[in-house]
Structure 1
């Protein structure tokens, strides 16, 4: 009989000798399995639960979104008497599972003397498949893993706290999670500032979103509208789902979770790496924290669903870039191979890690900026794709309207920072209406985006053109890449799908330079 606990503890014992598993072409320098697998598994649970067309399943999905289940698992322990002395974050704590197996974790935060509650963070391994042996939080019972959890039945209800604190009895406990997809947005007021300091200004990348939406937790508002079937209350760019069907709501809930909340948190971790590098280089091993933050960023970008199933594309931003590359022929070999976006982003992550290790903090900023630039591309492609689908379908599905709206929601703040009128044009064509009648005009949306490409620092070649799904080797009429591309063919002689383009003379030099 398979034992998750036995597998986990075997992994934990051998983990010290193993290197951290690669994330595509990036090898983390620190253990970020709990970040990578935890968030990816939470997202997988959400994606699955919103696939059932009923309010109960959507409530379950929102519970996972808000309470987690797979990342930073900890037991909130209610002690029989107060702590005899203060306990520092990271202090080793030992206890026993229901069957008497010993488990050693750590204090999840600082606790003052006489505290009646202490948080026991469960140990984590470095393998994505079995990274933690206690998974509860907001997970449905069918997805919970309990055999590595501290005992809450009465037989083994005591913990041993190191540092001279001693053995403490406890009355009960609740298994929770300290890292959630909702928290990426609801904690943004502090987390999107250097050092999580409310006295510091927001990171500059976050400012366009604040200026457009008017609140720091806009991602949570958008996802919540999906889970609950209601409307956001933002300054601009409202997503109005009242009356829309479950499929539409599910698309907004899961895409806002993965591509807005987690996507922006990737950038937050990149900025945190830069901050840690610049602030802490006066001490030995000053860049440990900086590289760990970057490792987290890569984990949140790629996710474990890609790592554990290489034939798949993953359920976080890496997977989005792969999907859109297939739609727009922007893979390294056109419609074949890794997406150009992911290929370049992974190169930038690796280059940035090398610079952080060398203490080259200022030099790392160029890598960060390039990653942020590239992450705009799949969101633009997603919006353009659904604008085309909606404008050419007589009776478009509510699901398609919602997908277009949520992709637009992810990029509109950046467009607005370039030109407010352009952002308004795109929003008016992509927004959800009470009548459920699509207002999308593909040509207008495509032209609007193209008018701000220079400002967004993206090119016609970056975005590509929409492949006709009926042929698989031609562009949809009117959806060709900008830059005067007039025809396309696909050659499979090498088995690798390379594109042959006939391009206007004025565009040849620019496109050649982009693909050097």
Structure 2
């Protein structure tokens, strides 16, 4: 049963067809991967192909089993083999005892060791090593960074354009095919080949993201939507190329766009070759096109889309209930677009009245100084700590759902790899840290929740591994990244319920900087109320936005305490009536309910000592409350008896497997080829990836 994967394999023959989706629908569908209506069936030709040249990789579905892997998918085959093997071990685990779970982790490491070429394929994100390509997700922080830059210049309209239109994540180019011959039909994943400006060599420009494109015999122009191959990668290959904005209505400032230099032509005409999945380049169709680099670009993933698409993206499947934490926010605000409502109200200096009557803010009435400082703070903190914050939780939930959607381990015709679960987890890390923090998290130039945790740790003396410093990496960040790493290991080992404990802790740790933000600005408004109106508005906006991102959690625990905090921190509240002690006490009463503790939050510190009345409370430990038991599937913790035998047999099994893999790899590759050579795909085939990372 265990070694069945070494001989039982086939091809993935999935395909799809349909009509071309309009841009709005496409943005919703492609930004958030469609949920699988049923368990996906994936089988493989042989284990060595899975190890070396598997086509079902990186959480993406290929249209043709013979197609070459894309640059995104290349090198992910080791993960495919590991996760397949772990699935086979599930059946063995039920026979050998619960502690065999530790053996699955061992085997994962052994299989990784047998394939060194696949290691370090993707650059670490703040010490976390992603196993799938999520650089396009991480690039969303470049939108946030540009938004903050424009806000710093007082250019709220420009900042709003960045928020609404994006520029760095899931960039799409609209190519107009000029009177193409017909009838023709191309599926999603068709590759678009051509020459970039100034180059004589034909290269892959991108892939077709429309569900399908079909036209008849009558002449006429046809528009196709292409996701360009990025010129550079914010995590893997250095800085991006700075270009004039290429959104529909060009903005009066430079914007980093990864579309630049990829689709040839500036208001000119040329030819591109469309190569359907499984076809070679010389059999593609060469078609005339036109494309305006200044106008024919848009972005599927924007800071705004995280909120405006939430009604569909925050569900495990179409029509299913919302994810639990998102439902908490919907219960409080009674709208799925609460974050966008807050951000747009601040950007336009107007009021926002939520359907629930809770959390309202009237920026126009409260901010009358003419300064834009307060509005800018409400916008930039709203995007990072309301929209991005919830999207991180969504990706974590998606990873758990993907982990659950496994095939029957005894069904050898169904081998559903766990790549999608790992990809969703990697995406959560990419959003939490972004691309600007670097590989080890010491760049201190980020703009996502990871950066906020570091700033608040300095204010509350919770930095360092033990949470006792006023500088360095936040203790919360050490813990969050540790939990991400543990979750990755458990997802690979198919330990979904244990991974849920990691997810539970990550979500709760992410609340700590929000609590610290509320406490900081409650203190400043109570004791350091400045005389100048712009600074007062700035502090009011910061405190109110932190509260807006946290209040639904507090409200779920205690409605009266949530109301007290809102009345103190809301936009338009009288600074003379802000009582820091009341806000602090209300928050502390709900630490346990929110899954955090006094030592995690710390106390407001001035660099020399704690501020008056702001010393830390003492309940709880630095580790925070223990995660609940999510075991509803077969538990990985068993009773007494048989455990040692299971571990012993598991070790023997692992060693035997390592020997078999090594021997077969030697027979397959010998001394004439190394793994890197074998993994080089044939030059005449083209990958056709149907799902956007």
TM-score range, shorter chain: 0.7 to 0.9
- Residue correspondence of structure 1 range 379-398 to structure 2 within 5 A: 379-394=514-529, 395=531, 397-398=536-537
Q: 2:334 aligns with which of 193, 214, 222?
A: 214
Correspondence 1:314 to 2:413: no
Correspondence 1:93 to 2:192: yes
Q: In 2, Cα distance between the equivalents of 1:511 and 1:369?
A: 17
Correspondence 1:77 to 2:175: yes
Q: In 2, Cα distance between the equivalents of 1:154 and 1:415?
A: 54
Asked if structure 2 preserves the Cα contact closer than 8 Å seen for 1:21 and 1:127, the reply is no
CA shift for structure 1 position 165: 6.1
Q: In 2, Cα distance between the equivalents of 1:111 and 1:220?
A: 31
Q: Which residue of 1 aligns with 2:436?
A: 305
Q: Deviations over 1:184-227 (max 9, x none)?
A: 000000000013x1x11111111110011111011111111221
Q: In 2, Cα distance between the equivalents of 1:300 and 1:231?
A: 29
More helix by share: 1
Q: In 2, Cα distance between the equivalents of 1:106 and 1:232?
A: 40
Correspondence 1:64 to 2:159: no
Asked if structure 2 preserves the Cα contact closer than 8 Å seen for 1:98 and 1:156, the reply is no
Distance 1:90 1:209, change over 3 A: same
- Residue correspondence of structure 1 range 36-47 to structure 2 within 5 A: 36=138, 38-47=139-148
Q: Which residue of 2 aligns with 1:326?
A: 458
Q: In 1, Cα distance between the equivalents of 2:586 and 2:260?
A: 55
Q: Which residue of 2 aligns with 1:251?
A: 377
Distance 1:154 1:143, change over 3 A: closer
Correspondence 1:122 to 2:234: no
Q: In 1, Cα distance between the equivalents of 2:380 and 2:350?
A: 15
Q: 1:287 aligns with which of 406, 418, 421?
A: 418
Distance 1:207 1:231, change over 3 A: same
Q: 2:289 aligns with which of 160, 164, 170?
A: 170
- Residue correspondence of structure 1 range 438-457 to structure 2 within 5 A: 439-457=577-595
Count of residue pairs the alignment pairs up: 469
CA shift for structure 1 position 19: 2.2
- Residue correspondence of structure 1 range 363-402 to structure 2 within 5 A: 363-394=498-529, 395=531, 397-402=536-541
Q: Deviations over 1:82-123 (max 9, x none)?
A: 674332222211133333454421012312412922111111
Q: Which residue of 2 aligns with 1:413?
A: 552
Q: TM-score, normalised by structure 2?
A: 0.64
Q: Which residue of 2 aligns with 1:268?
A: 394
Q: 1:352 aligns with which of 484, 487, 491?
A: 487
Q: Which residue of 2 aligns with 1:503?
A: none
SS at match of 1:160: strand
Q: In 1, Cα distance between the equivalents of 2:584 and 2:253?
A: 46
Distance 1:143 1:213, change over 3 A: same
Asked if structure 1 preserves the Cα contact closer than 8 Å seen for 2:596 and 2:624, the reply is no
Q: In 1, Cα distance between the equivalents of 2:576 and 2:169?
A: 39
Q: 1:189 aligns with which of 311, 314, 323?
A: 311
Q: Which residue of 2 aligns with 1:428?
A: 567
Asked if structure 2 preserves the Cα contact closer than 8 Å seen for 1:109 and 1:119, the reply is yes
Q: TM-score, normalised by structure 1?
A: 0.85
Distance 1:378 1:296, change over 3 A: same
Correspondence 1:339 to 2:474: yes
Q: In 1, Cα distance between the equivalents of 2:210 and 2:160?
A: 26
Q: Which residue of 1 aligns with 2:601?
A: 463
Q: In 1, Cα distance between the equivalents of 2:426 and 2:275?
A: 30
Could you list the runs of 5+ residues in structure 2 that have no partner in the other structure? 1-70, 76-116, 217-221, 277-282, 409-413, 627-693
Asked if structure 2 preserves the Cα contact closer than 8 Å seen for 1:35 and 1:296, the reply is yes
CA shift for structure 1 position 232: 1.3
SS at match of 2:176: strand
Q: Deviations over 1:362-403 (max 9, x none)?
A: 221111111111111110110011000000124362100100
CA RMSD of aligned residues (A): 2.6
Q: Deviations over 1:245-291 (max 9, x none)?
A: 30000001111111111111011011111111111445435211111
Q: In 2, Cα distance between the equivalents of 1:413 and 1:69?
A: 31
Q: Deviations over 1:135-171 (max 9, x none)?
A: 7347654225575142344544332111266122224
Distance 1:171 1:156, change over 3 A: closer
Asked if structure 2 preserves the Cα contact closer than 8 Å seen for 1:324 and 1:382, the reply is yes
Q: In 2, Cα distance between the equivalents of 1:139 and 1:122?
A: 21
Q: In 2, Cα distance between the equivalents of 1:126 and 1:48?
A: 21
